[in-house]
Structure 1
Amino acid sequence: MVRRVARRLRCPIAPTIGAIVLFWLALTPSLLPRSPLFQGLVCGVAAALGYAVGALLGWVLRSCGLHLEGRLRRIFWWVVAVGAVVGSAICLVWYVRWEDDLRERVGTEAVDLAHVPVLLVVGLVVFVLIVAIARLLRLAGRVVGRQVSRLLPQRVAAVIGAAVVALCCWVVVDDVVAARVLATMDATFIAINDEFATDVPAPTSPSLSAGPASSVEWEDLGRQGRVFIANAPSAETISAFTGRPALQPVRAYVGVGTDGEIDLREEAQRAVEELELTGGFERQVVNVVTGTGRGWVNENQARALEYMWDGDAATVSMQYSYLPSWMSFIVDGSRAQEAGRLLFEAVYARWLELPEDARPKLVVSGESLGTFGGEAAFSGAQDLAERTSGALFVGPTGNNRLWQQFTEERDPGTPEVLPIYGGGEIVRFGDQQEDWQRPDPTWEGPRIGYLQHANDPITWWTWSLALHKPDWLDEPRGRDVSPKIRWIPVVTMLQLAADQMVANDVPEGQGHQFGQEPVRAWAEILPSPGWDDADTDRLAEEIASQQLDDVS
């Protein structure tokens, strides 16, 4: 029995070498520092992939008659074992140095002694689990194949056995596991969506959804909608900052309700009704925001325009999912696009009905998955310029259609992480405030801005990383990106996928944390008359202090 188990657990030479090499490569630098848990996960998955590649290569070599036996095989195993230990020790030392360098760039704490053993344990567990599952599936295929071989030739039976097991796995994962997981997640996040319903009372201002003039109920706004409405600044707060008379900003919001049924077209129409009932079309600026999955709207973006325009601004948004942004993108990414398109088109249709001299400035904005949806209503830069007075997309995803177009068609000689498109006439990209002046301070007409960081994995991760080296790794590295990062097929894709899980666990100005940068971006894209840089600095400090108050 022991010998049988040992035979099952043994690792052939080629797969072992593949696992070791991919483990080493997974320790190379990435965009952001990661916890030992996520680093171990990347190493374990990479080692399992290396094992699979090695197994395939070994099968090819054996098919060609090349294999090791006897004393030569034992010697080769000793070489592999010694090389694995020595090579791993060297790679782990380098990894700690690379990681500390990256953490210094980003502004987080250095690696401590507990990091490496946790990484190794997690990586080993993940690797063993993946290989064990693969072997069980292979065993199941062989069992089925042996049964089929009673009726059909051996090779045909083997193929049928593998196909049957693959089909059964697909059915189990897709129809059983995934369905139950999604049902559980849906129920869980519906419950979370109902939080914060009674902790804070409904607003009393007619300029806010769920207020006296509104047609929606406080309970139906959803958690993020209630937070957004409750945090609206008052006219007195804005006036105290500007020293001028101010209005209560309009915030119109529609949630998905509590019944689990989501009709995006109906929601968009209700959002326009809310905007009208709360007086949004009577303001100087209307900001159409596509939120993230659960309906989160970046307060810094909304407040920037509200303060800049003395409260004479309206923000309209709607919820389109119960799920967090990353889950919503995986389960149904097209919903964000549909929501963004339907919301803007509904607002724009009503806006066109207004007399030309009474139309407010119409702008579009969104962050992260919200940029993915916010772009959906437009065909290109000219369309954005013709139908809006400006736009701000913060932390775009690598799958954004227009962002990809503008980046790929950038002016020759400009880098992918900070491109110049069409001479910067309409669309501009910024990482820091001074970037908005590229290629020159003159920026006439409607201004479309993309605020992005060179080390934000949300922006730079795509499936193509598996087989294609991106330009941003072929060009001089962007701000705070390690010069030691290199493109490695498949491994780089896995690393950035893991980076996405920690993209918000970094200081402001890094990764997917934008802090007060949206305030400075709006000051470049749609400043109010007479607004200057000193006003922008004061406003950034004011909104930062309000964030601290919200947290406390």
Structure 2
Amino acid sequence: MSPSLLPRAWYLQGVATGISVAIGYGLGCTMAWVVRRCGIRPAWSARTRTLGWWALALTALVVIPTFLVLGSWWQQILRDLVGLPRASRSFYVLVLLIAVGVAAVLLAIGRGLRWVAGRLTAVGGRIVPGPVARLAAVVIVAVVMVVALDGALHRGLLSVAERSAQAVDESTAEGVAQPRAAERSGSPASREAWDSLGREGRSFVASGPTAEQISTVTGARALTPIRVYAGRESADSVDGIAQRVIDELHRTHAFDRKVLAVVTTTGRGWVNPNVAAAFEYVNGGDTAIAAMQYSFLPSALSFIADRETPRLAGQALFEAVHRTWSTLPEGKRPKLVVFGESLGSFGGQSAFASGADIVSRTDGALLVGTPNFAQPWGRITAGRDAGSLERLPIVDEGRHIRFASRVDDANLPGPWEFPRVVFWQHASDPITWWSFDLLLHRPDWLREPLGPDVDPGMRWLPFVTFWQVTLDMIFSADVPYGYGHAFGPDATELWVDILDPPQWNSAKTQRIHDAIAGR
């Protein structure tokens, strides 16, 4: 019931509590089994057993209601911290019912597997010695479970999910209309059919600031930003899709622009509109953004079940663009930058062997909400300068690579040389901090001073914290900008830091920030 990174809905709290109860019960049973195997079998009297059960019941009557009240109170504090309206605390009565139900189901599954193993042991014991039969039974049950979950069931669920997601991908978001500008894929001048771009691709090419809007905000002449995109159905492989993006870059004369951005999208092709618009505003529309769709699966499913395709897509798109870009005369090349969020950050980084490789092959990068399993983010974080925080690492005194939760975090005392790379991540983002290591190891980000957007009462507990952070991920983007996995207009300040546009001032930055925020 204790607080974690983000507020949890009462029903998710019930699930987290139920899982923790089942794990606690399982650990208790395991410890009792070990004690009995060691030959320790206390002979409690009937009176002692009765008193023990009564003591346990009275303790439960005090502890359970107390922590239901505390849990609902802690969640209200978390909601205040991230700027969400307070929720009714009365629903926390239902947390107990859900927790008991979840724990009972998990317990039944565990006992069912134990029964199967027992039956197999009995059958095997007729052929081989008992200990061998018992070991064989456990191995068989474990293998069958792995095959069922990771094999047929896994593929079956993914197949159903992909078919459903593909149907959704054929729809178009409300208010999205086919662009008429030749600078956009899906327009009448484009070789990429509007219907082939996918739902997120259509939203991407049809949105963004116009040249007139950019001029109004910045007070300077602007160009119509180029946005090129290819959908999942446009080719049979990620390399084929990437080549169609290259063809669109040539068609729109994107290599003649001042800055070219390569973007790896999230699961089904989403690009953060705030980061993209800020990039275009800051550069006066003299930009091109290249992106592609590599999957029909939503990000949550890709995050769990398909991490290979984002990696291949990130490599394919960047390498295709870089090959063409590198053939141009040095004086006539656009600046080449990369950006991406979440799985897009993971996929985009997959094109690079290290932080130094990002610096050597780009003119800048903005990598947002990076998942914990991404590389080279993990190696960069692990190799941070001594004394710096895991949530805000300092690398090589900030010479090229810097981390930011708030925009001011990028302002370090030492010189910031070009190219500049920013990892934008919030201390309260479960996408960045979720890891299987949370099961048994307290991470540095929970040993060190917590971020300002994290409840000071958060503590690491074995097993418990893992499930709390796991469930935090479900609604991690449904919080105000600046918290969790929600990244907004602050991209403006970070792009200014990365690109350092000429004749710039803070008033322009604020006007762009306000325009993106809709003020």
Corresponding residue number in structure 2 for 1:395: 369
Label 1:151 to 1:415 Cα distance change in 2 as closer, same or farther (>3 A): closer
Instruction: Give the distance between the partners of 2:486 and 2:326, measured in 1 at CA.
Output: 36
The equivalent of 1:65 in structure 2 is: 40
SS state at 1:377 partner:
coil
Tell me, yes or no, if structure 1 residue 478 matches structure 2 residue 451: yes
Offset, 1:114: 2.1
User: Which residue of the partner structure matches residue 168 of structure 1?
Assistant: 144
Structure 1 residues 56 and 183, CA gap change in structure 2 (3 angstroms): same
What is the match of residue 471 of structure 2?
498
Map residues 189-208 of structure 1 onto 2, 5 A cutoff: 189-196=165-172, 200-208=176-184
With a CA cutoff of 8 Å and minimum separation of 6, indicate the structure with the bigger relative contact order. 2
CA contact (8 A) 1:32 1:455 kept: yes
Unpaired runs of 5+ residues, structure 1, are: 1-26, 547-552
Between 346-355 and 498-507, the greater mean CA deviation after superposition: 498-507
Query: Hey, what does 2:301 align to over in structure 1?
Result: 327
- Assess if the C-alpha contact under 8 Å between 1:204 and 1:211 holds in 2: yes
Structure 1 residue 515, shift from structure 2 partner? 1.7
Q: Equivalent residue for 2:264? A: 290
1:40, distance to aligned residue in structure 2 (A): 0.8
Assess if the C-alpha contact under 8 Å between 2:68 and 2:93 holds in 1.
no
Please show how residues 413-492 of structure 1 align to structure 2 within 5 Å: 413-440=387-414, 442-492=415-465
Q: CA deviation at 1:242?
A: 2.6
CA contact (8 A) 2:282 2:492 kept: no
Q: How does 1:243-254 map to 2 (within 5 A)?
A: 243-254=219-230
Tell me what 1:233 maps to: 209
Residues 282 and 420 of structure 1: CA distance in aligned 2, closer, same or farther (over 3 Å): same
Q: Distance between the aligned counterparts of 1:303 and 1:341, measured in 2?
A: 24
Q: Report Cα offsets for 1:128-177 as digits up to 9, x if no partner.
A: 11111111222222233333334344443333333333343344334442
Deviation of 1:526 (Å): 1.2
Q: Which moved more, 1:184-193 or 1:166-175?
A: 166-175
Deviation >4 Å, runs of 4+? 197-201
RMSD: 1.9
Q: Distance in 1 between matches of 2:137 and 2:219?
A: 77
Q: Which residue of 1 aligns with 2:162?
A: 186
By how many angstroms is 1:99 displaced? 2.1
Q: What secondary structure is seen at the aligned counterpart in 2 of 1:501?
A: helix
Q: Identify if the C-alpha distance between structure 1 residues 213 and 541 changes in structure 2 by more than 3 Å, giving closer, same or farther.
A: same
Q: 1:101: Cα distance to partner?
A: 2.1
Partner residue of 1:509 out of 482, 485, 489: 482
Task: Check if 1:310 corresponds to 2:284.
Answer: yes
- 1:14-29 alignment runs, 5 A limit: 27-29=1-3
Q: Residue type of the partner of 1:468? A: H
Tell me, yes or no, if the aligned pair for 2:176 and 2:203 is still in contact at 8 Å.
no
Amino acid at match of 2:52: F
The offset of 1:94, in angstroms, is 2.7
After TM superposition, give the deviation of residue 534 of structure 1 in Å: 1.1
Query: 2:376 aligns to what SS in structure 1?
Result: helix
Match of 2:507 in 1: 534
Alpha-carbon contact 2:258-2:286 (below 8 Å) kept:
yes
Aligned equivalent of 2:197: 221
What SS does the corresponding residue of 2:84 show, helix, strand or coil? coil
Q: 2:274 aligns with which of 287, 300, 304?
A: 300
Contact 1:96 1:111 in 2 (8 A): no
Aligned-partner residue type, residue 483 of structure 1: P
Aligned to 1:46: 20
The unaligned stretches of length 5 or more in structure 2 are none
Q: Distance in 1 between matches of 2:76 and 2:316?
A: 46
Asked whether the 8 Å contact 2:173–2:203 carries over to 1, the reply is no
Deviation of 1:117 after TM superposition, in Å, equals: 1.1
- Inter-partner Cα distance in structure 2 for 1:486 and 1:182: 35
SS of residue matched to 1:114: helix
Identity %: 41
Q: Which amino acid aligns with 2:413?
A: P
CA shift, 1:320, in A, is 1.0
- Aligned letter for 2:281? Y
Superimposed CA distance per residue, residues 431-472 of structure 1 (whole angstroms, 9 cap, x where no aligned partner): 1121121134x4221110011111111111111111221111
CA contact (8 A) 1:394 1:518 kept: no
1:82 equivalent to 2:36? Answer no
Alpha-carbon distance in 2 for matches of 1:166, 1:67: 32
Deviations 1:490-530 (A, max 9, x none): 21111111111121121121111112121221121114221
- The structural deviation recorded for 1:35 is 0.5
CA contact (8 A) 1:289 1:365 kept: yes
CA distance in 2, matches of 1:423, 1:157: 59
Q: Deviations over 1:328-347 (max 9, x none)?
A: 12212122121111111110
Equivalent residues of 1:207, 1:251 under 8 A apart: yes
Distance 1:174 1:426, change over 3 A: closer
